Structure 1
Amino acid sequence: MSTEPAQETELADPAVRQLSAFAGLSRVDAGPEPELIARLRAAPPEPDVLLRIFDDATGERLELDLRPEGGATALPPPAPAPRSVGRPRLGVVAREVTLLPRHWEWLNRQPGGASAALRRLVDEARQVHRERDAQRAAQETTYRVMKEMAGDLPGFEEASRALFAGEAERFDRLVEAWPDDLKAYLRRLALGAWTSQ
């Protein structure tokens, strides 16, 4: 298995997940999902090595089938999704919303009706809170990886508090003693957590 992570491309396709693979606490590979899987299949880790793969955008740990393609069994096709309410071709999904009568009355008086008014309100809130939402997403992404990889490392609790308090310098100081690959990855994931400070 390669001991050097693949170079990260600046212009990555947003439709393809960017992943990072760790053997123990060392980052052994990174890149677009199909390429990373191909490299890991070609040079699998030793059986006794704990391989953890993370989605760089969400911090979620992924369980991927790394068996050679010839040995993989085909999974049955997924059952067709039940026909839903809404306008699926337009991306409109019907879901239930619980509101008080006064809220429904106000929504129904808005131009275009309740659905159009709710869409406008959501779009306005997304614009107003975009920076705060991005900061929170970066904190949560970083924390998912921290919890998985660094939960037993010294300073984990304090580093977590610094992350959610938006204290970049304190966070950097607390993770400084951690393994280099892990520290570098967490610092990169946390960059968006400091933007609104």
Structure 2
Amino acid sequence: MQQDIQTVTAFLGDTSLLSGSRIIVRQRLEERYPGDLGAILVFDDVTGKPVDLNYWDAATTAPAPSVGRPRLGVKAREVTLLPRHWDWLAEQPGGASAALRRLVEAASRAPGDGRKRKDAAYHFMSHMCGNLPGYEEALRALYRDDSAAFDSLIAEWPDDVRDHIRRLIAG
């Protein structure tokens, strides 16, 4: 089963340096900016929150695979459904539990969750844009879905910052 790869974007001041998986970004930053990583900020591309790439722990490796079924942190809990729901679940490949997990995963990844995207833009903006002109007004416009006002307020902001905000909002 393929797992989602968390992507991040690194900034030095108002300039976007690179985007990609956490591992690739960390490696490239270490190659390009040896000893000068303190001024670089890295943000999660989904949440907009800053992340720590553990630059100084490059020797960290994944744990050795263990024998047997992997521990997935599965918790057994009771679910109450109508009989027709149980019948439908029983017909699904992998059984009821697998079908429920697939449904939950699909719903959690579904596009259209505007609030999460706005929150991601807010988190990024709170770290990168607090001193920029129109910051508070831009946040208000963002949350009231006034895209014309929002675009106008961030129009003069640094290009890379403005473009990243738009990518976060777009998802």
TMscore range, shorter length: 0.5 to 0.7
Task: Name the counterpart of 2:147.
Answer: 168
| Residue 42 (structure 2) pairs with residue 53 (structure 1) | yes
Aligned with residue 42 of structure 1, among 24, 27, 31:
31
Aligned with residue 32 of structure 1, among 5, 18, 21:
21
Query: Which of structure 1's runs of 4+ aligned residues deviate more than 6 A?
Result: none
Relative distance call for 1:89 and 1:141 in structure 2 (3 A) is closer
Aligned with residue 138 of structure 2, among 143, 159, 162:
159
Q: Give the alignment of 1:25-104 within 5 angstroms.
A: 25-44=14-33, 47=36, 50-67=39-56, 69=58, 72=59, 91-92=74-75, 94=77
Runs (5+) with no aligned partner, structure 1:
1-12, 78-87, 96-106, 193-197
The number of residues matched between the two structures is: 144
Task: Name the counterpart of 1:21.
Answer: 10
Deviation at 1:47, TM superposition (A): 3.1
Task: Name the counterpart of 2:156.
Answer: 177
**Alpha-carbon contact 2:9-2:43 (below 8 Å) kept:** yes
Task: Name the counterpart of 1:98.
Answer: none
Deviation at 1:22, TM superposition (A): 0.3
Relative distance call for 1:45 and 1:152 in structure 2 (3 A) is farther
- Counterpart of 1:171 in 2: which secondary structure? helix
Relative distance call for 1:14 and 1:24 in structure 2 (3 A) is farther
Relative distance call for 1:94 and 1:42 in structure 2 (3 A) is farther
Read off the aligned partner of 2:157 and give its amino acid letter: W
Task: Name the counterpart of 1:81.
Answer: none
**Alpha-carbon contact 1:139-1:163 (below 8 Å) kept:** yes
Identity of aligned residues (%): 29
Deviation at 1:90, TM superposition (A): 8.9
Between 1:138-147 and 1:49-58, the stretch displaced more is 49-58
Q: Distance in 2 between matches of 1:176 and 1:63?
A: 29
Q: Distance in 1 between matches of 2:160 and 2:124?
A: 13
Deviation at 1:45, TM superposition (A): 5.8
C-alpha RMSD over aligned residues:
3.5
Deviation at 1:109, TM superposition (A): 9.5
**Alpha-carbon contact 1:41-1:67 (below 8 Å) kept:** no
Q: Give the alignment of 1:107-186 within 5 angstroms.
A: 111=83, 134-186=113-165
Deviation at 1:66, TM superposition (A): 1.4
Deviation at 1:166, TM superposition (A): 1.1
Runs (5+) with no aligned partner, structure 2:
64-70, 87-95
Q: Name the structure, 1 or 2, with higher relative contact order (CA <8 Å, separation 6+).
A: 2
Q: Distance in 1 between matches of 2:5 and 2:31?
A: 20
**Alpha-carbon contact 2:22-2:53 (below 8 Å) kept:** no
Q: Distance in 2 between matches of 1:56 and 1:184?
A: 12
Task: Name the counterpart of 2:93.
Answer: none
Between 1:16-25 and 1:38-47, the stretch displaced more is 38-47
**Alpha-carbon contact 1:45-1:51 (below 8 Å) kept:** no
